[in-house]
Amino acid sequence: ARSKHCRVCNRCVARFDHHCIWMNSCIGFWNIRWFILFLLMHCIICFYGTYLIFFHLSTFIAKHRLWEAHYFSTEGKHIPMDYQFVFKYLMYHQATAMILCILMICVGLMLAFFLGQHIWYSLNNWTTNEKLKFDAIESTYKSEEYQEYFKELEMRKKKEKELKSDKSDGNKGKKEKKE
């Protein structure tokens, strides 16, 4: 059944996909388009924010001429800045922007994956609820315990058939002796 009663909302939802805590609503037949649009907009916002932070950091690097800077090693060698030291410098002087940038990249990638997953489900006419149930059923059938159970069950059936055939062969022999 594609319709399901949501325990959180306490209502029935046609073509139930999942209950979304971000939207505080069930996602189903009537609002899956809006949910996909919601994910798309948040992906765009995260990647646009990442772009703006990269732009801010690149102007900071250019303003402080970090790529032209040099430092002295413990041996006294004159060494030009590399990516590692620029990253450390930015983490010290622009920690908020760097952490926010890393966070937005991670969240944007997760949202992009989630968006792709829901687009794939929509194109294949699946729901998250159905996919999770099918995966659980499939993993149950592939489990070793399940396979062992059915092997044992097949062996029992074979033994029962053999016993029945032995009994029927034994009964035929008794009938032949009586005649």
pLDDT tens for each residue of 47-58 = 999 999 999 999
Question: Which of the following is catalytic: 6, 9, 12, 20?
Answer: 20
| Residue found by looking up tokens 């649009």 in the block | 37
Angle at which helix 128-142 crosses helix 144-178, to 10 degrees, equals 50
β-partners of residue 26 are: 19
Query: At 80, phi and psi to the nearest 5?
Result: -75, 155
Q: Alpha helices, DSSP H only, in the chain?
A: 32-63, 83-93, 95-123, 128-142, 144-178
Q: What is the pTM of this model?
A: 0.69
Rg (CA), the chain: 33
Contact 103, 53 (CB under 8 A): no
Instruction: Of 101, 35, 89, give the one whose Cα is nearest residue 65.
Output: 89
20 is catalytic: yes
Position 174 scores a pLDDT of 56
pLDDT per residue as tens digits for the range 110-148:
999 999 999 999 999 989 888 888 877 777 777 777 777
